[in-house]
């Protein structure tokens, strides 16, 4: 079985140097003159598009048909035959799909803070789940609201503090619940009966109904809990793929025998950490060891107790006979891994189907109310996710499956329908993009770049040729070590700096990142040059949270 191979050089410390990524001059959504800071002045209100931003949680790009069926997609094509996302595929056919779209920190709260601010985690102050977002800092919703937009935030917030910059907000506390969720607003708390994805969509459309006759443009942030752990689909979706075998990733049984130490010591394997009871809803019997793992999530079980009698009866009716069949079969070893991956993947994709239906409902509403032509619709998720790839679930790593995030943008009359963009983009770029769409100047300290030129098919000559990544949350759930890294079109270098471990991957020849080339003499110069560039990106973005000095083997290439 192929695995990622890890080699060590002498102890290596973090790198520093000097490359500054300048903000690109922003082009306005309508023909206007350029402002003194290189961004567009505010356009007249009637010229500005509405913006609908649908944001889900943990939605892997390869769980979207338009990505999985793309022959140029470098990984995840094992899901190409599964039709889970007809509405997102419809959106992709009408807009631009970004093939190389990545996050800066693959975890829920930090990704959301980056989206709001256009700044890396160290710059916006929200580096780990459990931090509290400083809502007093500038965000793109605040700036749009100040410029005359009506703004709303509905659904998953997950930033600790109350939302700011919105005329209306109603959010899930913490992770929220799948069934009969509690929502919090400025007016207090309430519980709404139904499946969370449907509830968030209903509330979003209710708010849209109030805007359709307004002469002011609007921003709607419709943010879903799904498909976050623990995966609880709507009752109507439980029968999807119930009696068929879904594909399994070719790396499902990867044993990580010679990976970097962190990849061997993590706690996110389907084999050992995906819980039969809490994650997969097997009913425990006498003698079962329940609740003994170190990376458990009991939120789904707690949610079962909050279901209505009718909801719980339908849930139990579906799972009862299937759990009995599992008990009778008594799978073990690799067979048990395969069984767990199938149940997990089906529930995950069922949750995805709910999000897909939400997108379809919003698209239909815009068309029915004559607003489709002047509304930019954006779909994304906070990061990617493992669907059994390399034997894992969850995210956090800089490996492709969790680094990548879907990004699809429909902008009628300005962005070509069905286009695919291959530039390196990040969630860092969302804030300046939304601001430029609205004709609002982009603050000088924003670290991302507007995607408007790419949407219009005008590729700037100085677009970035590398992205910077930094994951902080260790030791913590799933035990993924802290790391920084650089990804170019072809190469990826990752530094697990607390342990001086490195990985180098040739994404052109090894898209599944199975062969670590770090320490290979034939690739020593590539590694050194990338390490120097990594240090330059750290300095350019002002990230001084990585400790250490430049090692001798890199110094020669500076």
Per-residue pLDDT of the chain (558 residues; tens, 9 = 90+): 444 333 333 332 233 232 222 223 333 333 333 333 344 455 454 579 999 999 999 999 999 999 999 999 888 999 999 999 999 999 999 999 999 999 999 999 999 999 999 999 999 999 999 899 999 999 999 999 999 999 999 999 999 999 999 999 999 999 999 999 999 999 999 999 999 999 999 999 999 999 998 999 999 999 999 999 999 999 999 999 999 999 999 999 988 776 778 888 899 999 999 999 999 999 999 888 887 777 899 999 999 999 999 999 999 999 999 999 999 999 999 999 999 999 999 999 999 999 999 999 999 999 999 999 999 999 999 999 999 999 999 999 999 999 999 999 999 999 999 999 999 999 999 999 999 999 999 999 999 999 999 999 999 999 999 999 999 999 888 989 999 999 999 999 999 999 999 999 999 999 999 999 999 999 999 999 999 999 999 999 999 999 765 566 676 555
97-132: string of b/e by CB count within 10 Å (b at 16+)? bbbbbbbbbbbbbbbbbbbbbbbbbbbbebbebebe
Which of 327, 344, 361 terminates a domain? The answer is 344
| Residue 30: CB atoms within 10 Å | 14
Specify whether 317 is located in the same domain as 374.
no
Number of structural domains in the chain: 3
The C-alpha atoms of residue 231 and residue 225 are separated, in whole angstroms, by 10
Model pTM score = 0.91
In a domain, 278, yes or no: yes
CA-based angle 165:384:200, to the nearest 5? 45
The encoded tokens of residue 94 equal 């009408």
Give domain status of residue 40, yes or no: no
Looking at the fold, whether 477 and 419 belong to one and the same domain comes out as no
Q: Domain check: are 115 and 223 in the same one?
A: yes
Token pair in block for residue 177? 């619940």
Are 372 and 430 part of one and the same domain?
yes
Torsion-angle region of residue 151: left (phi > 0), alpha (psi -120 to 50) or beta?
A: beta
Question: Cα separation of 547 and 14, whole Å?
Answer: 6
Domain of 160: which CATH number?
3.40.720.10
Mark whether 303 and 336 lie in a shared domain. yes
Tell me the sheet residues that pair with 426. 102
293 and 377 in a single domain? The answer is no
- CATH code for the domain in which residue 542 is found: 3.30.1120.10
In a domain, 249, yes or no: no
Distance between the two ends of the chain, CA-based, in angstroms? 38
Task: Give the helix ranges, DSSP H, for 476-551.
Answer: 524-540
Q: Is residue 252 part of a domain?
A: no
Same domain as 283, residue 160: no
Give residue 288's domain range: 259-344
Cβ pair 344, 231 in contact under 8 A: yes
Residue 205 CB neighbour total at 10 angstroms:
17
- Within-domain flag for 332: yes
- Give residue for tokens 């035959």: 81
Same domain for 54 and 83? yes
Q: Mind listing the pLDDT tens digit for each residue in 264-276?
A: 889 999 999 999 9
β-pair type (96-98, 419-421): parallel
Q: Do both 206 and 94 map to the same domain?
A: yes
Residue 106: inside a domain: yes
pLDDT of residue 46: 55
Q: Is the dihedral of CA 206, 48, 364, 426 positive or negative?
A: negative
Q: Using an 8 Å Cβ cutoff, are 452 and 436 in contact?
A: yes
Tell whether 83 and 212 lie within a shared domain.
yes
Statement to judge: residues 276 and 334 lie in one domain = yes
- Tell me whether residue 33 is in a domain: no
Let me know whether 413 and 539 are in one domain: no
Nearest to 477 by CA among 281, 225, 294, 309: 294
Q: Look at residues 434, 455, 476 and tell me which one is the last residue of a structural domain.
A: 455
Q: Judge whether 379 lies within some domain.
A: yes
pLDDT computed for residue 553 by the predictor = 67
Give me the residues paired with residue 501 across strands. Answer: 496
């Amino acid at each position: 079985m192929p695995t990622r191979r890890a080699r060590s050089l002498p102890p290596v410390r973090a790198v520093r140097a000097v490359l500054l990524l300048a903000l690109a001059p922003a082009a306005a959504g309508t023909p206007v003159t350029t402002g003194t800071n290189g961004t567009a002045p505010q356009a007249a209100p009637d010229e500005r598009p509405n913006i609908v931003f649908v944001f889900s949680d943990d939605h892997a790009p390869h769980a979207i048909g338009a990505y999985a069926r793309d022959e140029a997609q470098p990984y995840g094509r094992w899901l190409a035959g599964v039709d889970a996302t007809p509405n997102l595929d419809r959106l992709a056919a009408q807009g631009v799909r970004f093939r190389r779209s990545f996050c800066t920190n693959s975890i829920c709260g930090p990704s959301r803070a980056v989206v709001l601010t256009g700044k890396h985690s160290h710059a916006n102050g929200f580096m780990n789940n459990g931090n509290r977002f400083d809502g007093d800092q500038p965000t793109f919703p605040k700036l749009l609201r100040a410029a005359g937009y009506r703004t709303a935030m509905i659904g998953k917030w997950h930033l600790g503090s109350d939302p700011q910059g919105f005329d209306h907000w109603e959010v899930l506390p913490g992770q929220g619940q799948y069934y009969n969720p509690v929502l919090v607003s400025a007016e207090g708390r309430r519980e709404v009966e139904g499946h969370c994805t449907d509830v968030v969509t209903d509330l979003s459309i209710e708010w849209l109904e109030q805007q359709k006759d307004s002469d002011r443009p609007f921003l709607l942030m419709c943010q879903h809990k799904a498909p976050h752990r623990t995966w609880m689909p709507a009752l109507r979706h439980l029968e999807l793929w119930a009696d068929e075998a879904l594909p399994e990733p070719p790396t499902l049984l990867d044993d990580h025998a010679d990976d970097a130490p962190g990849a061997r010591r993590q706690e996110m394997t389907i084999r050992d950490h995906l819980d039969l009871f809490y994650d997969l809803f097997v009913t425990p019997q006498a003698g079962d060891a329940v609740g003994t793992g170190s990376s458990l999530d009991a939120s789904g079980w707690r949610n079962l107790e909050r279901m209505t009698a009718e909801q719980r009866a339908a849930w139990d009716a579906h799972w009862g006979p299937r759990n009995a069949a599992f008990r009778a079969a008594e799978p073990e070893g690799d067979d048990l891994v395969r069984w767990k991956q199938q149940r997990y993947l089906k529930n995950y994709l069922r949750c995805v189907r709910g999000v897909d239906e939400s997108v379809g409902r919003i698209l239909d509403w815009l068309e029915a109310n004559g607003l489709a032509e002047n509304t930019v619709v954006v779909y994304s998720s906070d990061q990617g996710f493992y669907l059994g790839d390399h034997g894992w679930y969850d995210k956090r790593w800089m490996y492709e499956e969790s680094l990548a995030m879907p990004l699809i943008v429909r902008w009628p009359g300005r962005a070509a329908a069905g286009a695919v963009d291959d530039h390196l983009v990040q969630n860092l770029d969302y804030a300046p993009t939304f601001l430029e769409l609205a004709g609002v100047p982009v603050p000088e300290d924003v670290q991302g770049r507007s995607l408007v030129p790419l949407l219009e098919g005008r590729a700037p000559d100085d677009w970035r040729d590398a992205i910077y990544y930094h994951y902080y949350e260790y030791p913590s759930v799933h035990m993924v070590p802290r790391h920084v890294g650089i990804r170019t079109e072809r190469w990826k270098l990752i530094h697990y700096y607390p342990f001086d471990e490195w990985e180098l991957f040739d994404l052109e020849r090894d898209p599944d990142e199975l062969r670590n080339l770090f320490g290979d003499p034939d690739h020593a110069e590539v590694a050194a040059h990338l390490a120097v560039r990594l240090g330059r990106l750290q300095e350019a973005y002002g990230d001084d949270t990585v400790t250490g000095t430049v090692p001798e083997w890199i110094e020669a290439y500076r």
